[in-house]
Every structure is written in C-alpha cells, then in structure tokens.
Structure 1
Amino acid sequence: MIRRSESAMLSGPASGAVLALAGLLLCISNGRTPISLAPWWALMFLLRFVRGRGPIVGLGAGLAVSVLASLIVWRGMIPVPPGPYFWIASGLGVIFFVPFVVDRVLAPRIGGFASTLVLPLAFAATDLFNALLSPYGSWGSLAYTQYDNLPLIQIVSVTGTAGVVFLIAWFAAVVNWAWEHHFSWKRVGFEVSIVAAVFSLVVLSGGVRLAARPRNAVTVRVAGLTVRAGDARRSMGLLLNPDPTPADLKAVHSATTALLDTLFQRSEREVRAGARIVAWSEANGLVMKQEEPALLARAKEFAVRTGSYVFLALAAAAPGSPRYENQLIAIDPAGQTGFRYHKARPVPGDLEMGADRSVPKPIPGPAGGRIAGAICFDMDFPQLIRRAGRAGADILIAPSSDWLEIDPMHSRMAIFRGIENGFAVVRPTDKGLSVAADCQGRVLAAADYFASADHRIVAQVPTLGVRTFYAAAGDLFAWLCVLALAGLVALAQGMRRPL
C-alpha cells in the first residue's frame, strides 16, 4: 500500500487557521453582493483543509463550515419562515460541499496533476444538475459571482455557467496541488504554466469578443416601466375570497383602472420621447379576468396610434379564483398580438398559475431584429431560456418583480442568459434593479427601485444579436465534464492508494 505524502497533511493549528479563512471567505463568496475574488480563494482554502486532514475530520468539519456559511449567505434571499429556511439553506450547503467529497475520494487515488481535474469536473457536474433538477433553477451557481468580469464570463456563450464554475474550481485545485508540493517551481512549474496559459486564453478571447462588437450597431429606444401598485394590489386580494361581494368587485375595478391609466399615461410619455418598445414590469398591470379583453383592445389601439411595440405584463384573476394568471402579452405596431405567454416557471409557493412549457417564439421587431419574452423566475433556468436563443432572438423582454434581499443579484443573473444566447436583455423590475444589457453583458441602463423615485429605464438597445455556440449546443461542455468525471471514477477503481 502506498502511503499518503506527509507534505499533503496540515498540523492542528495550521488546519484550524485554513478552515477559518475558508469559512470567512465563503460568507462573501455568494449571495446578494458577493466579492468576485472570494470564491476563488474560498474553494482553495476549503480544499486545502479537506485534503490536509483525515477523512473524518476533513469532511466533517468542512461540511459543517459549508452549511454554516450557506445559512449566512442566503439569509433573506429565500422567502420562507425560519424553520424551512434552515433546512433549505443547509441543503444548499450540503450540495455545495458534494464536489469536495468527490475530490477527497478520487483525487488521492488518481494522484499527479490529473488529480486537479476532479474538483472542477465535480463542480461543473453539480452546476448542471442543480440547474436541471432544483426547483430554484440555477440559483447558487458560482458563475454569477463573476458578473463584473466581462472578459471572463464571455465563456458562457460557449460553455454555459459550467465553464466559469470549472475555472474557479480548477484554480483552487491547482493552487492546492502546488501547495502540497511546497510551491517548488521545479516540481509544479510546467503544469502551472499550462493552467496559466489556459486562463489567459479564456480571458484574452473574452476581451477580443468584447472588442469585436460593432460600436455603430443599429439600436432601438426601449423603455421599461414600473408603477407603484399598492392600492390596486391590496384590492386584488379581495378577488381571492371564495365569494367576493359586488362592493369588492367595484373596489377592485376602481383601483385597477387607476393603475392601468397611469401605466398607459407613462407609456405615452415614453413613446413621445422616442421609445419604439415599451415594457411593463412583472404583473404591474392588474386586471380582473372579465375586463382583460377591454384592456387588450386599449393596448392595441395604443400600439397602432403610436407605432410602438407594447409588452403588457399582467396579473389577471377571476373573482373567487385562488390563483392568478401571470402573463406577458406582446402587441406590435399593427395592433396584432405577437404572443400571449404565461409564466412557465412559477416561484414555488406562489399563487400564480403555470401554463406554458416553453418561452414564446420571437416576433419580428424593429430593423430586422426579433423579440422574445420571458418572466422573472423563468430567467433562472438556462435550459428554458436557451430555446429563445436557439429560435434566433435578438432582444428578450423579461418583466420581473424582486425584493430587497435579492436586489441586485437577480438582475445580474438574467444578464448571463443574454451572454449565453447572444441577445440583449431588457428587465423592467418592480422592487429590484431594472436593467438593460447588450448581448455581451454590457449594462446599457439601470435603475434601482429602492434608490430612485422614477421607476423606469430607457436604453438604446442593439436590434441585432449574435449567434452563440451555447444556444446551438446547449450544455455540451457540462455533459462532457460529467463523462470525464465518470471516466476518472472508473480510473480510480483500479488504484490502491488510500484516502
């Protein structure tokens, strides 16, 4: 039996310091406002601890720190009572730690530089399965922590978020491997140079992609609106009663009519200022189901009269119904309904109905562009939104509604969908960060609901996007990581090295 190198082990005091540093960095590595460098080093120090102690202590203490950090990081971002929050956040901490368990089992058996691939492959696989299987979609992906590193995150146009996650984890594994070899250049220099070259190539390619984007592209003026809907929203609650009274219906009609009048007045103001596309934030247009046809007729008349594209984000409820329809309706300048879309991914526990299984097909827009749509939480599911990219969308309108604790992270997550699929994203947001970004993630306009009195964004948005490898091939890179990890598992079966 081959003995594990003593150089890979940590002493008690040293291991405690490494674990504490890992825990502190984990607390600023994700959540509402992560520090982008933190996850790179958090993973490295946590891996160094797990690898540097025996299996029981390393895995047990490492898991405890991961769960504790998760409880801190996601506080307020998961809108459930304390009891369920404890279990949900703890579960996220366990899922996050799974790649370290895989690494602890496989890497010592494989040995050598190849062992540095175990952790990134496991993280990429976890990122994929989380997006596919979790009811919260891609929430928690480490890729989103790199939102401010535009050259780096251009790689998602090829690999999806798994590519960024792979690089973060590979950095951690390589630094740990060099640490285990006392950072001896003679022993690790060649391999480290290869990794540095790969990272440099990724960032350089991203920079080239950003620089190659035409600066004189044809643009269209887009306005995203949010109107405070307090009275109307409270009155809509009366419809949820099993048997609303005539007085209840009258109160709902009065409040929603006033809200819709304000939305159309502000839409008119934006069109007069030059906007060709006007979009409302998620469920900002509140309407009783029986009054919806009249609202659509009004919107069509508005679109024809002003020559604009109008994207109505509606919450329609029938009296006595326990749920409401969360809709996005596109009206073109000819007064035709481009699409009527019901939110495909309702938030777990919400009262909204889920009807559509896919995002709508893009409709013709200004200057030869094509406009698609999605609603808020839909944007957290890369595989769903990829259908718009595959259909050739150039602009995606994504009406949304957030709350303080997920502002601004939720809007930043949506920008990744645009980079992946090559379309601009316009996200008018109630109680959050309204943002418009081009197909490479450059922010064209932004306004925070909690920091501005005029809840709107206005941006000149490129009418044409780009076609991307991710839109065509999907999660090919992530699935290749799954296959490569399975190959390492098979390879490790023949190894006799101890943990």
Structure 2
Amino acid sequence: MGDNKGRNNIDKENIKRCLCFTITVMISSIAYYFSTGIYNCSLLTWLAPIPLFIYTLEAAMVPVVFASIITYIIGFSSGVFAYSNTVIPIWILAFGNIINAIIFTILIVLFRYMVFKKKHWAWSFVFASGWTAFEFITSLHSSAGTFDSIAYTQVFNLPVIQIASITGILGVTFLLMLIPAGLALSWHYRNNSKLCLKTIIIPISILILTMIFGLYRLNVPVQGPSVKIGMASLGMSLEELRSRGQEEETEKIISRYIHCIDLLSRSGAEVILLPEKIITLNLNNQSKFLQLLADAAHKYQITLIAGLSVQEELNLYNSAYLFLPSGEIALKYDKQHLLPFSEGSYIPGQEFSIITSENKGMWGIAICKDMDFEEPSRGYSQRGINLLFVPAFDFKADDLLHARIAIMRGIEGNYAVARAAQWGLLSLSSNKGEIINIVSSNNEKNDAILIGTIQLDQGKSIYSNLGNWFGYFTEGLFILLTLFFFILNKIKPDND
C-alpha cells in the first residue's frame, strides 16, 4: 500500500510538471505568435514572456531550456511562414529562427542562474540588455538588417515608440524585455516585500518616464508645411508582373497608371508615388516609356515618383525616378539593399537622393528593403529631410509586417513616410508614426489608390545625430552587470 501511494504521488507530481510545462509553452508561444511577424496584437508582446519567465524561476533547468527553445521557435514562426511562398528559401528563415531561439534560451538560463545564485533586483536588466545587445549586433551584420526586431510589434503603441527618436528601435526592444522580466522576478521575490518592490519599481518607472516623453512628443504641434500626396498600385497577377518587360504589356501598364494619376491629380494630389519596379525597361531602346511618365507629370502638373527596373548598357538597376511638374527628371535613386536570391543581377546604389523645395522642405527616396536597415534612413535624417518616399513591392502576407518597419524609421528620423507597395499596403505616416491613411494593395484584380494630406516637421532627430549609442550602452550594461554578479557572488554568496 505504501509503495502504491508513493508511486501515485510521484505520478501526480510528474503530471503536474508536464501540465505546467505545456501550459507555459502554449500561453507564451501563442501570445508571441499573434503579436509578432504578420500579426500585430501589441499588448500580447508585453504579456507573452511573463509565464515563461515565471516558469524559468520555478522549474528545473532541463525543462526550462526546452520550454524556452520551443516557445521562441513557435512564437516567432508567423514571420517565417509569411515568406514561405517567396523567392527566399524557407530553410534560411527557419535556421535564423533557431539561432535566435538558442540565444534567447542562453539568456534565460543566465537570468535563472543569477537569480538562484544571488538575490538582487538588477537581474531583469541583464536579460533585457543582453537581448537588446544581441539585436543590435545582429542588425549590424545580418543581410536582413533590423527586420527581426521585436520593437516593430509596437508600431501602433504611439506613446511608447516615440522613444525611438532618441534611442532608435532598440529602446523599444529593451522595454519589451525589461518589463516582463521585472514582473516575473518581482513575483519570485514576493515573500521579501522590500526586494520585491525594489525589483519592479525601477523598470516601471522607466516605462512611465518613456510614456510621459511619448505623450509630450505626440502633443508638440507640427508647424511645418503640408503636402497632399497620392499613391496608386495596379491590381496585377504574377503572370502580368512577369511580363511587364514586354513592350506591349509595358504600354498597357503605363496607360493604366496614367489613368490613376489623372484621378489622383483631380483630387488635388501634388505628389504621386508609384510602387517598386512597375515596369522593366532598357534605356538603350525603350526610353520612350520614361518619356511617357515625364509627360504625365507635366500634363497633370504633379511631382511623380515611380519605381522602375532599368537596364543601362550592361548594368541593371532597381531605381526610382522623380519627375518634376515641368517633365524634367530631377532625381534617380538606386536601391542600396537588394533582396537576396532575386536581385543578384542588380547593381546596388551608393548615393542619397534629395530634392529641396522652396516651401516644402527636403524630400528623400528609398526603396523597399532599404528601410530594413539603419542606412540610408539615418543618413537622410542627418541631412534634414522631412519626407521620405518609398516605392516597394512586398509579398502579400507580409504587408503590415513590412509597412510598419518604414513607419518606425520615420519616428527614428523625425520625418514623414509615404510608402507604396505593389502587393502590400499604401501607407502615409507622420514623423510621430501617426497613420494619416492606409490602403491595402495586395489584391490582384482591383487597383488601389490613396490620397492624404500630411503636415511636415523639420526632420533630424536625437537618434540620427547620436547614432547607435543605445546599442553600445546595452552591450556595456550587459557586461558590467555580469561582472557585478560574479563579484557580488564571490564576496557574499547566498545560502539558498
């Protein structure tokens, strides 16, 4: 009888452990899944890691490792699935997801080790600074730039994301990791009221100060000029897109876009933005198509920006042309960050393209994937632009995922962003990330148009002037806190 009772108790304990593991992984991974990648439930991003952090401080090491890896891989997989039917091999995306999961797990194990070895309120800062530093280092060396940053999940959380104008997106990442880790650690110290309070009061104070700054910035009046912007994207199937280099098809596409330009100009649009690679042309014998766009700008007395795939002699460029109301080509910008596996034959650009208007400020141009990187966005801000035009493409499922990156770049650089994607979104956002207008353009059958008036600020920001200071700060903070832990533990180890 005694053996059976002991065996039953062991079985119940094992079942309890399995349930705790399963519930933790389910809650945290589902919350992350629906707040990252192609989804955007921003509140869940703050809540998602809390069950995992609490479990980390209660369970044994081995299940904690498995829980962390599984949670990350599942939770951050929606972004991987968004590109499953594109030119990017899914195994590369999955491999990147696994690497991130391993680093995430290492930091959780370190967090757990520190908490168990020495009670202190500062260990939540170790995890937050460690993950933020990892994001920063990855962004400097990855071909995806800042694309994987968790900060973009907060793009509609306006009071919080204003901090990006000072710290860049890394300030948002830091908060997203610090607050959940602080809450979980505070719960772990719940029997020690003094330590519990000290553990949570500093992270919450930082969040409150961030939101006070954000609310202040949102309420600072914009006193710059206003401009009415129109955008258009044709409903096109994959077959139509593939044939846009054929002469007959090119004429049809331009004719359809000129019709959209007519509609937008009648609605008062001063500037009209078209997507990336609307046509493919060889300037050696097809320059007449470029002239058709110039003639449309002149006829309708608008400034026109259009993305084109251009063959110049032996070189192929992914370019954006800016046509003045006079019909003159004022700017040509070549995409700097080309998409791996599909744009290998293109020549990357190196230069900024800026036009200065007497009464509208300074405008710049970037193309699609350029916005995933610190440059050229930060360089444009340093030069004082107040409006950035972004022809883009996208892959339908990633419409919001990619558009919100451009919106956040505008906050970092303190400029408005007009972005027109072929299979994504037409979006117009202010220097504070406020959405002026947004329209889906990922329908293959129907054309999409957008028009909106935006008031422009002066450009430049603290972040663009100081650069990645916060990234280096988190690297230093992580190293200092780790050293502090070992010194503290050596001087006076806990007996727990």
Tell me the TM-score normalized by structure 1. Answer: 0.86
The alpha-carbon distance between structure 1 residues 360 and 291, as it changes in their structure 2 partners (threshold 3 A), is farther
- 2: CA distance, partners of 1:229 / 1:291: 25
Residue matched to 2:291: 297
Q: Which amino acid aligns with 1:140?
A: D
Runs of 4+ off more than 6 Å: none
- 2: CA distance, partners of 1:192 / 1:183: 14
What are the residue-to-residue correspondences of 1:267-306 with 2, within 5 Å? 267-306=261-300
Instruction: Report deviation, 1:96.
Output: 4.2
- 1: CA distance, partners of 2:211 / 2:440: 30
The alpha-carbon distance between structure 1 residues 292 and 393, as it changes in their structure 2 partners (threshold 3 A), is farther
Residue matched to 1:462: 455
1:60 aligns with 2:66: yes
Contact 2:260 2:449 in 1 (8 A): no
Partner deviation per Cα, 1:282-309 (whole Å, 9 max, x = no partner): 1113323424533333444443444422
- Does 30-39 or 444-453 show the bigger shift? 444-453
Partner deviation per Cα, 1:252-280 (whole Å, 9 max, x = no partner): 11111221122233223322332111111
- 2: CA distance, partners of 1:133 / 1:458: 37
Determine helix, strand or coil for the equivalent of 2:241. helix
What are the residue-to-residue correspondences of 1:19-34 with 2, within 5 Å? 19-34=25-40
Instruction: Report deviation, 1:373.
Output: 0.6
1:477 aligns with 2:470: yes
Contact 1:326 1:352 in 2 (8 A): no
Residue matched to 2:233: 226
- Does 393-402 or 140-149 show the bigger shift? 140-149
The alpha-carbon distance between structure 1 residues 146 and 300, as it changes in their structure 2 partners (threshold 3 A), is same
Determine helix, strand or coil for the equivalent of 2:320. strand
Residue matched to 1:3: none
1:491 aligns with 2:484: yes
- 1: CA distance, partners of 2:349 / 2:128: 32
Residue matched to 2:8: none
- 2: CA distance, partners of 1:387 / 1:82: 32
Instruction: Report deviation, 1:211.
Output: 1.0
Contact 2:320 2:332 in 1 (8 A): yes
The alpha-carbon distance between structure 1 residues 108 and 291, as it changes in their structure 2 partners (threshold 3 A), is farther
1:49 aligns with 2:42: no
1:39 aligns with 2:32: no
- 2: CA distance, partners of 1:327 / 1:433: 20
- 1: CA distance, partners of 2:469 / 2:109: 24
Which residue, 197, 202, 206 being the options, matches 1:198?
206
- 1: CA distance, partners of 2:147 / 2:106: 16
- 2: CA distance, partners of 1:73 / 1:227: 26
Q: Which amino acid aligns with 1:485?
A: F
Contact 1:282 1:401 in 2 (8 A): yes
Instruction: Report deviation, 1:184.
Output: 5.3
- 2: CA distance, partners of 1:83 / 1:33: 21
The alpha-carbon distance between structure 1 residues 357 and 117, as it changes in their structure 2 partners (threshold 3 A), is farther
Partner deviation per Cα, 1:122-175 (whole Å, 9 max, x = no partner): 121122122222211212211111112101111111111111111111111211
1:149 aligns with 2:149: no
What are the residue-to-residue correspondences of 1:432-443 with 2, within 5 Å? 432-443=424-435
Which residue, 154, 168, 193 being the options, matches 2:176?
168
Q: Which amino acid aligns with 2:252?
A: A
Instruction: Report deviation, 1:402.
Output: 1.2
The alpha-carbon distance between structure 1 residues 109 and 133, as it changes in their structure 2 partners (threshold 3 A), is farther
Partner deviation per Cα, 1:34-61 (whole Å, 9 max, x = no partner): 3212121222222222333333332233
Instruction: Report deviation, 1:487.
Output: 1.4
The alpha-carbon distance between structure 1 residues 464 and 116, as it changes in their structure 2 partners (threshold 3 A), is closer
- 2: CA distance, partners of 1:166 / 1:97: 17
The alpha-carbon distance between structure 1 residues 194 and 65, as it changes in their structure 2 partners (threshold 3 A), is closer
Residue matched to 1:395: 387
- 1: CA distance, partners of 2:52 / 2:226: 47
Contact 1:368 1:464 in 2 (8 A): no
- 1: CA distance, partners of 2:90 / 2:166: 39
1:407 aligns with 2:415: no
The alpha-carbon distance between structure 1 residues 293 and 113, as it changes in their structure 2 partners (threshold 3 A), is same
- 1: CA distance, partners of 2:106 / 2:359: 48
Give aligned pairs, total: 472
- 2: CA distance, partners of 1:420 / 1:284: 29
Q: Which amino acid aligns with 1:228?
A: G
1:120 aligns with 2:128: yes
- 2: CA distance, partners of 1:313 / 1:183: 61
The share of aligned pairs that are identical, in percent, is 21
1:315 aligns with 2:309: yes
Residue matched to 1:240: none
- 2: CA distance, partners of 1:110 / 1:290: 71
Residue matched to 2:255: 261
Q: Which amino acid aligns with 1:464?
A: D
- 2: CA distance, partners of 1:83 / 1:458: 39
Residue matched to 1:376: 368
Instruction: Report deviation, 1:62.
Output: 1.8
- Does 324-333 or 155-164 show the bigger shift? 324-333
- 2: CA distance, partners of 1:72 / 1:448: 20
Instruction: Report deviation, 1:422.
Output: 0.6
- 1: CA distance, partners of 2:224 / 2:37: 35
Residue matched to 1:249: none
Q: Which amino acid aligns with 1:392?
A: G
- 2: CA distance, partners of 1:107 / 1:335: 67
Contact 1:68 1:90 in 2 (8 A): no
Partner deviation per Cα, 1:385-411 (whole Å, 9 max, x = no partner): 111111111100001111221122211
Determine helix, strand or coil for the equivalent of 1:382. coil
The alpha-carbon distance between structure 1 residues 435 and 351, as it changes in their structure 2 partners (threshold 3 A), is same
Contact 2:334 2:350 in 1 (8 A): no
- 1: CA distance, partners of 2:436 / 2:78: 32
- 1: CA distance, partners of 2:292 / 2:358: 22
Determine helix, strand or coil for the equivalent of 2:122. helix
Determine helix, strand or coil for the equivalent of 2:397. helix
